[in-house]
């Protein structure tokens, strides 16, 4: 198909968008709509599948095929869809409750099977649609309606979990950085296999400012680390800080004392180092954004169709009359 | 030596779950089917794969009834009981009729086996005269098997594994069967393991020859081929028929088959069977859990495949929410429930019909789903094709309620030719005018538009939708209208199904025996007797449970009384009372085993003579 026959407006529907004013979801919707014309897929071949939660209203606002399904099961539904229709571009919209709590099981199994789908995991560290209970990514001690004395749950580290499930593509971005968000959406789309993109998304009603330090002008340079393949891990104002590896331990160093060559050079094909990066989490290290890990591995749907082809090659295309009669029939006159 | 001709024989094979009893039973079944007898089988195995050897818990059984006239059940009492050890005898002696024959392995009656079976030494059934009412044929199966294989260099364990072949050979001789089928089966199974193949064949022949030469088996039986309808037959098990039926439905509809399933007894064999037939384009998907299995099937259906998921009762409980979604989306989906004893984990390897109300009502909200039930192993084929037809042509999930009894039971089947199978019509024709996802035809069925169709991009979901457009709607009048519309759509299916017919008896009589599902064989057998005895009784068997055939109420009204036998605590009877306000009499058995025909017969007589 020809490039850019669509504009982002072609992907908007006539449905009124009903997220709270100021919700981070608006920004994500806008960027997804604006990236769609660039992926060069006819819109009738694109499907958005979501579960339940604020973010899961997303498919109603995309003028493609879509399904707003049930809580936690978008990943499982998308698996069946992709298995039967490998030709489609399948996008999964889910939240931290949907994918990591009620749907945690299906998420890890989708990742290990590596269906060629794109997961956009909107992480706002709270239950929004049910009006403000803590989620599996809420920090310990968080006071919410269901945890007036503070949450006693240890939270999930989503990217570490996904790497543990042998995800072939793990990335992180944030709603307030449209440029990076667009770039990550494109990378997710380009990856053949399951792409897991965690999107930090601000819930301005129930968990406002959860990522404040990573978006505020005063602090974001020191609290965020933007990864680029083959580039050293630099951050801070004017990139005045870097990360070196001391054995298996990452260490923040001042660029006054170190040169770029001394630093940890990001290699998105290194699973072990991706594991370390995913653990840059509440430990005085900057939060990494970008592609932490990317590898090529056979997709389930391809393996499935290969087996079918091989079976046909070995046994010939199935003959129903032969199947009905079996190997041991007899005639009664 | 005498050769006695008999019309019908019931044999029960029993031994340790590791003794190869199921294999022995199925081999005897296939050979007997090929010989031309009518037959019906029923395996009875423990939930544990290898329960402690020699114990009662580890006893595995296989019952076959075969004859030269029509057979509808695996039989009530057994004529012959084959036991490999004390525990097998102790657990199953109650099945044997007085004067029946016991064929027993003496090597399974030593001190150790007595102890494992919990039998005191002074109560050894071989010596305490407790078997005096039976004809006992005893032999040293283990010892003879080992001797027969003394020159073959395989381990003692491998040798002992062949002992079921000795018994099989013996029985083949007793019933005048050829070894040919089993030898070719063994060749296929062990073709590349020469020692094992040779051993099995050797022991099979040894058992046959032992029966021929020894004096203990003083008589040989002849069971002549049955007078069956002319045609070509094969032997078939219920789960196998279900699997083949799914492939047939896929071909007759032109839809790819997607089968999402999570292993569960007694449904797993459908997954195994389908997985063998990838050359039919079958996509079998072993999901991570029951919910994923049904969800993946819904995803596949959204993509335009024939989506099917199979499980047993506990799995249906887990799938409930997703089934409601499929109902709300109005996508085709077939849900197979091979029922087993419940509640909870219940009796996994035993049979029950106790999930009917779960299928009927087990969802949140108003979500009526069509229900259809096969009655015999071979009927599974036609019924699953019908389940697929209703799902696709009416854009709805459909429940197919089989059970452990017919799923694992076998019978001869006069299979159809493909050219005689009906086509399934996929509702993908444009309904005209502007496209809306929930525009409906005269059957209230919406158009099945799949991704990839240009210009008809649309979104569907589990939220209540506005009629026609399918947009989310919280409007109260619209909600009520949609509830009624979806209900009417399901009710209209009654127009596409056959009217209820009587299976036997007169159109008007005193009593109607009204059954569903796997009770068919037992009721039919009982009916033959009571009709000969002149009782005023008829039998109807319901295949379409929701919606019912449109004339069912009229059929029922022709009888003074209605008796409803079920392998549950009374479920169809509740639906009948609700729908027709009929004071039906429940007749229930909840023991994890099917009805015996004599139980039904006695109950019919009791109801009629008790007037």
- CB within 8 Å: A83 and B281: no
- CB within 8 Å: A88 and B452: yes
Task: Kindly state the helix (H) or strand (E) to which residue A95 belongs, with its residue range.
Answer: strand A89-95
Whether A309 maps to a domain, the answer reads no
Output the 3-class SS for B378-414: CHHHHHHHHHHHHHHHHCCEEEEEEEHHHHHCEEEEC
Looking at the structure, do residues A187 and A290 belong to the same domain, yes or no?
yes
Q: Give the residue from B139, B146, B178 showing the smallest Cα distance to B161.
A: B146
Q: Which of B247, B278, B296 sits opposite A83 (nearest CB)?
A: B296
Looking at the structure, do residues A140 and A260 belong to the same domain, yes or no?
no
User: What is the spatial distance between Cα B110 and Cα B120, in angstroms, rounded to a whole number?
Assistant: 11
Cβ–Cβ pairs < 8 A, chains A and B: 207
User: What residues of chain B lie within 8 A of the CB of A80, using their CB?
Assistant: 258, 260, 285, 295-301, 303, 307
pLDDT at position B217 is 53
Interface test with A, best of B451, B462, B473 (most A CBs within 10 A): B451
Percent of chain B surpassing pLDDT 70:
99
Chain region(s) in chain B for CATH 3.40.920.10: 2-222
For residue B17, pLDDT beyond 90: no
Is the CB of residue A140 less than 8 Å away from at least one CB of chain B? no
Give the residue-averaged pLDDT of B498-523.
Answer: 98
Interface test with A, best of B29, B177, B260, B278 (most A CBs within 10 A): B278
User: What is the spatial distance between Cα B325 and Cα B295, in angstroms, rounded to a whole number?
Assistant: 9
Whether A331 maps to a domain, the answer reads no
Q: Which of A13, A105, A317 sits opposite B289 (nearest CB)?
A: A105
Fold of B502-609: Rossmann fold (3.40.50)
Minimum CA–CA partner of B38 in chain A: A332
- CB within 8 Å: B299 and A84: yes
Task: Kindly state the helix (H) or strand (E) to which residue B434 belongs, with its residue range.
Answer: none
Token code pair at residue B28: 């005897």
Check: CB of residue B242 under 8 Å from CB of residue B218: no
Interface test with A, best of B291, B295, B304 (most A CBs within 10 A): B295
* Nearest CA distance, B248 vs chain A (angstrom): 7
Chain region(s) in chain B for CATH 3.40.50.970: 235-420
User: What is the spatial distance between Cα B90 and Cα A257, in angstroms, rounded to a whole number?
Assistant: 86
pLDDT at position A198 is 98
Place of tokens 């003028």: A63
Token code pair at residue B338: 């091979």
**DSSP β-ladder status, A89-95 and A65-68:** unpaired
pLDDT at position B519 is 98
- CB within 8 Å: A304 and B283: yes
Laid out side by side, the sheet with A46-50 consists of A224-226, A287-294, A169-174, A195-200, A117-123, A89-95, A46-50, A65-68, B459-461
- CB within 8 Å: A325 and B234: yes
For residue B198, pLDDT beyond 90: yes
pLDDT at position A298 is 98
Q: What is the CATH number of the domain that holds A181?
A: 3.40.50.970
User: What residues of chain A lie within 8 A of the CB of B322, using their CB?
Assistant: 70, 73
User: What is the spatial distance between Cα B103 and Cα B69, in angstroms, rounded to a whole number?
Assistant: 25
- CB within 8 Å: A64 and B457: yes
Residue B101's DSSP bridge partners are B80, B135
Looking at the structure, do residues A118 and A241 belong to the same domain, yes or no?
no
Task: Give the burial class of B167: count Cβ atoms within 10 A of its Cβ; 0-12 exposed, 13-18 middle, 19 or more buried.
Answer: buried
User: What is the spatial distance between Cα A323 and Cα A274, in angstroms, rounded to a whole number?
Assistant: 50
Is the CB of residue A106 less than 8 Å away from at least one CB of chain B? yes
Give the residue-averaged pLDDT of B468-481.
Answer: 97
pLDDT at position B611 is 58
User: What is the spatial distance between Cα B597 and Cα B518, in angstroms, rounded to a whole number?
Assistant: 12
Looking at the structure, do residues A192 and A152 belong to the same domain, yes or no?
yes
- CB within 8 Å: B417 and A321: yes
Token code pair at residue A70: 């049930």
Q: Which of B36, B258, B462 sits opposite A330 (nearest CB)?
A: B36
pLDDT at position B569 is 98
Radius of gyration of chain A (CA): 23
* Nearest CA distance, B521 vs chain A (angstrom): 22
User: What residues of chain A lie within 8 A of the CB of B281, using their CB?
Assistant: 308, 318
Q: How far is CA B412 from CA A168, B229, B521, B545, in A?
A: 51, 11, 14, 26
Task: Please report the residues numbered 241 through 270 in chain A whose beta carbons come closer than 8 angstroms to any beta carbon of chain B.
Answer: none
Tell me what the pLDDT averaged over chain B comes to.
Answer: 95
Looking at the structure, do residues A111 and A260 belong to the same domain, yes or no?
no
pLDDT at position A205 is 96
Mean pLDDT by 10 residues, chain A (333 residues): 78 95 96 97 98 97 98 98 98 98 98 98 96 96 96 97 98 98 98 98 96 95 97 97 95 96 97 97 90 98 98 97 94 89
**Residue A85, SS3?**
coil
Is the CB of residue A219 less than 8 Å away from at least one CB of chain B? no
User: What is the spatial distance between Cα A182 and Cα A162, in angstroms, rounded to a whole number?
Assistant: 22
Q: Which of B251, B283, B459 sits opposite A59 (nearest CB)?
A: B459
Answer whether the bond into residue A187 is a cis peptide, omega within 30°: no
User: What residues of chain A lie within 8 A of the CB of B454, using their CB?
Assistant: 42, 44
For residue B215, pLDDT beyond 70: no
Laid out side by side, the sheet with B96-105 consists of B38-44, B59-67, B8-16, B78-83, B96-105, B135-139
User: What residues of chain A lie within 8 A of the CB of B457, using their CB?
Assistant: 43-44, 63-65
Window from B54-58, B379-383, B499-503 with minimum mean pLDDT: B54-58
Minimum CA–CA partner of B234 in chain A: A329
User: What is the spatial distance between Cα B296 and Cα A80, in angstroms, rounded to a whole number?
Assistant: 4
Looking at the structure, do residues A40 and A113 belong to the same domain, yes or no?
yes
For B225-275, the DSSP string reads PP-PPSEEEEEEEHHHHHHHHHHHHHHHHTPPEEEEE---TTTHHHHHHHH
pLDDT at position B22 is 93
For residue B321, pLDDT beyond 80: yes
User: What residues of chain B lie within 8 A of the CB of A311, using their CB?
Assistant: 278-279
Whether A285 maps to a domain, the answer reads yes
Q: Which of A66, A78, A332 sits opposite B36 (nearest CB)?
A: A332
Check: CB of residue B117 under 8 Å from CB of residue B86: yes
- CB within 8 Å: B244 and A323: yes
User: What is the spatial distance between Cα B311 and Cα B402, in angstroms, rounded to a whole number?
Assistant: 10
Task: Please report the residues numbered 27 through 66 in chain A whose beta carbons come closer than 8 angstroms to any beta carbon of chain B.
Answer: 42-49, 52, 59-60, 62-66
Domain B235-420 has CATH 3.60.40.10: no
Check: CB of residue A188 under 8 Å from CB of residue A171: yes
Token code pair at residue B380: 């599974």
Looking at the structure, do residues A167 and A244 belong to the same domain, yes or no?
no
What is the number of structural domains in chain A? Answer: 2
Place of tokens 């198909």: A1
Chain region(s) in chain B for CATH 3.40.50.920: 502-609
User: What is the spatial distance between Cα A243 and Cα A291, in angstroms, rounded to a whole number?
Assistant: 17
- CB within 8 Å: A332 and B329: no
Q: Which of B181, B236, B292 sits opposite A106 (nearest CB)?
A: B292
Question: Is residue B44 very low, low, confident or very high in pLDDT (cuts 50, 70, 90)?
Answer: confident
Residue A155: which domain range?
8-231+266-300
User: What is the spatial distance between Cα A174 and Cα A215, in angstroms, rounded to a whole number?
Assistant: 9
Alpha helices in B39-104 (DSSP H): 86-92
Looking at the structure, do residues A145 and A270 belong to the same domain, yes or no?
yes
Minimum CA–CA partner of A109 in chain B: B288
- CB within 8 Å: A323 and B280: yes
Whether A319 maps to a domain, the answer reads no
User: What residues of chain B lie within 8 A of the CB of A330, using their CB?
Assistant: 33-34, 36, 232-234
* CATH number for domain B2-222, candidates 3.30.365.10, 3.40.430.10, 2.70.98.10, 3.40.920.10: 3.40.920.10
Whether A314 maps to a domain, the answer reads no
User: What is the spatial distance between Cα A185 and Cα A42, in angstroms, rounded to a whole number?
Assistant: 17
Q: How many CB atoms lie within 10 A of CB A269?
A: 11
Looking at the structure, do residues A199 and A83 belong to the same domain, yes or no?
yes
- CB within 8 Å: A42 and B454: yes
Looking at the structure, do residues A227 and A84 belong to the same domain, yes or no?
yes
User: What is the spatial distance between Cα A235 and Cα A65, in angstroms, rounded to a whole number?
Assistant: 41
Radius of gyration of chain B (CA): 26
Looking at the structure, do residues A202 and A244 belong to the same domain, yes or no?
no
For residue B52, pLDDT beyond 90: no
Place of tokens 């022991």: B203
* Nearest CA distance, B29 vs chain A (angstrom): 12
Question: Is residue B500 very low, low, confident or very high in pLDDT (cuts 50, 70, 90)?
Answer: very high
Looking at the structure, do residues A207 and A241 belong to the same domain, yes or no?
no
Which residues 6+ apart lie within 8 Å of A113 measured at CB? A79, A194, A300
Q: Which of B34, B287, B417 sits opposite A328 (nearest CB)?
A: B34
Give the residue-averaged pLDDT of B535-544.
Answer: 98
Compute the Cα dihedral for B479, B480, B482, B486 and give only its sign: positive
Q: Which of B251, B278, B303 sits opposite A308 (nearest CB)?
A: B278
């Amino acid at each position: 198909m020809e490039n850019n026959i669509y504009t982002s407006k072609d992907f908007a529907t006539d449905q009124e968008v009903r997220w709270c004013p100021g919700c981070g979801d608006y920004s994500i919707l806008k960027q997804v709509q604006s990236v769609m014309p660039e992926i060069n897929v006819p819109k009738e071949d694109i499907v958005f599948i979501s579960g339940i939660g604020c973010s899961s209203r997303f498919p109603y606002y995309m003028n493609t095929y879509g399904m707003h399904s049930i809580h936690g099961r978008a990943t499982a539904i998308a698996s069946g869809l992709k298995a039967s229709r490998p030709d489609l571009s399948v996008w999964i919209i889910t939240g931290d409750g949907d994918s990591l709590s009620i749907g945690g099981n299906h998420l890890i199994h989708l990742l290990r099977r590596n269906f060629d789908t794109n997961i956009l995991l909107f992480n706002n560290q709270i239950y929004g649609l049910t009006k403000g209970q803590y989620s599996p990514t809420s920090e310990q001690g968080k006071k919410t309606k269901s945890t007036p004395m503070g949450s006693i749950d240890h939270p999930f580290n989503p990217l570490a979990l996904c790497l543990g499930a042998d995800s072939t593509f793990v990335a992180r971005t944030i709603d307030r950085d449209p440029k990076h968000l667009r770039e990550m959406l494109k990378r997710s789309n380009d990856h053949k296999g399951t792409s897991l993109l965690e999107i930090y998304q601000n819930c301005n009603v129930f968990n406002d400012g959860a990522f404040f330090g990573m978006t505020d002008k005063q602090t974001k340079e020191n609290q965020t680390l933007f990864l680029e393949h083959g580039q050293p891990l630099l951050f801070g104002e004017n990139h005045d800080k870097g990360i070196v590896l001391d054995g298996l331990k990452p260490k923040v160093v001042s660029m006054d004392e170190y040169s770029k060559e001394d630093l940890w050079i990001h290699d998105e094909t290194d699973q072990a180092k991706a594991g370390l990066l995913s653990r840059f989490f509440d430990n005085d290290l900057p939060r990494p954004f970008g592609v932490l890990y990317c590898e090529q591995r056979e997709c389930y749907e391809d393996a499935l169709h290969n087996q079918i082809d091989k079976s046909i090659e070995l046994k010939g295309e199935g003959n129903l009359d032969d199947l009905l009669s079996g190997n041991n029939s007899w005639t009664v006159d | 030596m005498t050769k006695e001709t008999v019309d019908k024989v019931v044999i029960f094979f029993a031994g340790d779950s590791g003794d190869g009893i199921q294999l022995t039973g199925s081999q005897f079944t296939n050979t007997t089917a090929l010989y031309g007898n009518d037959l019906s089988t029923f395996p009875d195995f423990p939930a544990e794969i290898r329960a402690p050897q020699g114990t009662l818990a580890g006893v595995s059984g296989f019952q076959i009834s075969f004859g030269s006239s029509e057979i509808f059940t695996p039989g009530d009492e057994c004529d012959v009981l084959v036991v490999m050890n004390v525990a097998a005898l102790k657990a199953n002696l109650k099945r044997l009729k007085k004067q029946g024959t016991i064929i027993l392995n003496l090597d399974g009656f030593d001190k150790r086996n007595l102890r494992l079976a919990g039998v005191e030494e002074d109560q050894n059934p071989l010596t305490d005269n407790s078997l005096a009412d039976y004809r006992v044929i005893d032999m040293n199966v283990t010892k003879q098997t080992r001797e027969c294989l003394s020159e073959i260099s395989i381990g003692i364990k491998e040798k002992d594994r062949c002992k079921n072949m000795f018994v099989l050979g013996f029985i083949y001789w007793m019933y005048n069967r050829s070894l040919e089928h089993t030898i070719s089966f063994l060749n296929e199974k062990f073709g590349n393991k020469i020692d094992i193949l040779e051993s099995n064949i050797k022991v099979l022949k040894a058992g046959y020859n032992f029966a021929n030469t020894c004096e203990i088996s003083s008589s040989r039986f002849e069971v002549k081929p049955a007078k069956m309808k002319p045609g070509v037959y094969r032997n078939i098990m219920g789960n196998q028929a279900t699997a083949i039926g799914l492939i047939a439905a896929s071909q007759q509809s032109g839809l790819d088959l997607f089968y999402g399933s999570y292993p569960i007894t007694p449904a797993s064999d459908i997954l195994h069977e389908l997985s063998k037939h990838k050359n039919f384009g079958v996509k079998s998907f072993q999901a991570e859990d029951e919910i994923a299995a049904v969800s993946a099937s819904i995803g596949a259906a959204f993509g335009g495949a024939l989506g099917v998921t199979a499980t047993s009762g506990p799995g249906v409980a887990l799938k409930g929410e997703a089934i409601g979604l499929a109902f709300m989306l109005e996508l085709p989906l077939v849900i197979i429930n091979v029922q087993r004893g419940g509640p909870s984990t219940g009796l996994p390897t035993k049979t029950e019909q106790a999930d009917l109300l779960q299928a009927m009502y087990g969802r949140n909200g108003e979500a009526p789903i069509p229900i259809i039930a096969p009655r015999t192993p071979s009927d599974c084929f036609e019924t699953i094709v019908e389940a697929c037809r209703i799902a696709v042509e009416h854009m709805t999930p459909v429940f197919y309620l089989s059970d452990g009894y017919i799923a694992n039971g076998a019978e001869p089947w006069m299979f159809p030719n493909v050219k005689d199978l009906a086509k399934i019509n996929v509702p993908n024709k444009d309904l005209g005018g502007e496209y809306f996802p929930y525009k409906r035809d005269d059957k209230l069925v919406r158009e099945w538009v799949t991704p990839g169709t240009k210009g008809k991009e649309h979104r569907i979901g589990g939220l209540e939708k506005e009629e026609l457009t399918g947009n989310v709607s919280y409007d109260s009048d619209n909600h009520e209208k949609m509830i009624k519309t979806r209900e009417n759509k399901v009710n209209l299916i009654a127009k596409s199904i056959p009217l209820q017919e009587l299976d036997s008896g007169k159109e008007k009589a005193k009593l109607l025996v009204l059954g569903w599902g796997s009770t068919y064989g037992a009721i039919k057998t009982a009916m033959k007797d009571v009709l000969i005895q002149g009782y005023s009784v008829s039998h109807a068997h319901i295949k379409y449970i929701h919606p019912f055939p449109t004339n069912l109420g009229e059929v029922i009204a022709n009888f003074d009384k209605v008796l409803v036998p079920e392998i549950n605590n009374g479920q169809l009877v509740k639906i009948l009372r609700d729908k027709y306000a009929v004071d039906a009499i429940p007749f229930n058995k909840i023991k994890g085993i099917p009805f015996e025909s004599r139980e039904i017969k006695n109950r019919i007589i009791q109801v009629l003579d008790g007037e």
